[in-house]
């Protein structure tokens, strides 16, 4: 699976790991990959996110809001996340593995078998449940519009 990732996509996965560590996560989730895509300058994927108003700063705020909202819904008072810096390689959580599976499946259908950050973003946006769809709902952004913009951007 990783052999199909371009250097661009590998950067996103590595940076996603950095984001996971910074939030105290024990695994790389799809939202960490989304943050990394938003930072990958001069890419189609980042351009689509920024054009929709999803900058890295805004995504971080949305993640904080979503976490607080979910905890309150569960009857838990939000508190700061304890972060213990670790250099250990973090595993991919199920949500991130599913992103990669979707990206691989989509790439297999196209002329290029490689997966770039746009392919990862498609895999992230294809999620129908989980943190990323909740982030988009908080931001009042329709994921199908992002997917359409990503496809239209590829045609330029």
At residue 10 the predicted structure's pLDDT band, cuts being 50, 70 and 90, is very high
Per residue in 47-69, pLDDT (tens digit) is 999 999 999 999 999 998 888 88
For the chain, the maximum distance between any two Cα atoms, rounded to a whole number of angstroms, is: 49
CA within 13 Å, CB half, 18: 10
Architecture per CATH, domain 2-154, reads as Orthogonal Bundle (1.10)
What pTM value is reported for the model? 0.89
- Mapped onto helix, strand or coil, the DSSP state of residue 92 is strand
Residue 1 has a pLDDT of 60
> What percent of the chain is modeled with pLDDT above 90?
65
Contact 128, 102 (CB under 8 A): no
Residue count of the chain, please give it: 156
Cα separation, 23 vs 8, whole angstroms:
23
Of the given ranges (25-29, 65-69, 99-103, 134-138), which has the lowest mean pLDDT? 65-69
The domain limits of the chain are 2-154
User: 75-121, pLDDT tens digit by residue?
Assistant: 777 676 666 566 778 999 999 999 999 998 888 887 777 899 999 99
Query: At 156, is the pLDDT very low, low, confident or very high (cuts 50, 70, 90)?
Result: very low
Judge whether 46 and 38 are in contact, CB under 8 Å: yes
């Amino acid at each position: 699976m990783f052999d199909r990732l371009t250097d661009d996509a590998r950067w996103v996965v590595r940076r996603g790991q950095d984001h996971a560590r910074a939030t105290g996560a024990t695994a790389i989730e799809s939202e960490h990959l989304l943050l990394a895509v938003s930072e990958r300058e001069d890419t189609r994927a980042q351009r689509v996110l920024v054009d929709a108003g999803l900058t890295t700063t805004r995504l971080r705020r949305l993640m904080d809001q979503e976490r607080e909202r979910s905890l309150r819904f569960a009857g838990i008072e939000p508190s700061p996340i304890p972060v213990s810096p670790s250099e250990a390689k973090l595993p991919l959580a199920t949500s991130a593995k599913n992103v990669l599976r979707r990206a691989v499946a989509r790439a297999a259908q196209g002329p290029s078998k490689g997966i770039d950050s746009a392919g990862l973003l498609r895999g992230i946006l294809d999620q129908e449940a989980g943190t990323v769809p909740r982030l988009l709902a908080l931001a009042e952004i329709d994921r199908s519009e992002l997917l359409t913009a990503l496809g239209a951007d590829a045609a330029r």
